[in-house]
Amino acid sequence: MRDTIQAELMMSFLVSEELSFRIPVELEYEQADPFAVRFTFHLPGDAPVTWAFARDLLLDGLSAPTGDGDVHIAPVTPGVLSDVFIRLQVGEDRATFRAGAAPLVAFLDRTDRIVPMGQEQSAGDFDDRLAETLDRILSQARNAG
């Protein structure tokens, strides 16, 4: 069984109401990190930028506006499975993308085959990896202090 799902799709980067351009975006989901999806945006002239956010946030945003903080996802037309807006924000800087819902649904369907929605906690050794990560962070903090 595969433990990583990858896909590539084209999204519109909305610079303003009058200007947008298409960019390739890589999507990735790993069984080892079952709650998150990663989007790597390939903007012209810049190094790729990767954002990770909750898989259920992406799923919920396909049908209704959702998001808190730095990531907001909303359907272009609420109640209709069509395109979605994905808005990412760091401080005052924002970037808005528009993506077709169909390739996102297909990607989510593939992720659901390796870790069904709602069963993320039981996937792999999540608790062990969390404990390992916390130990490493605490060790680094003690060594830095």
pLDDT in tens, 1-44: 569 999 999 999 999 989 999 999 999 999 989 999 999 999 88
- pTM of the complete model: 0.79
Place of tokens 């730095």: 70
Give me the number of domains the chain comprises. 1
Q: What percent of the chain has pLDDT over 90?
A: 64
Give the pairing type, strands 4-14 and 93-100.
Answer: antiparallel
The total of other beta-carbon atoms located within 10 Å of residue 31's CB is 17
Cα separation values, 89 from 41, 69, 86, 97, Å: 14, 8, 10, 12
d(CA 137, CA 62): 35
**pLDDT tens sequence across 39-85:** 999 988 889 999 999 999 999 999 999 998 899 999 999 877 889 99
pLDDT of 145 reads 60
**What average pLDDT is seen over the chain?**
87
**pLDDT tens sequence across 112-122:** 999 888 777 76
Q: Which domain holds residue 118?
A: 4-144
CATH code for position 91: 2.30.31.20
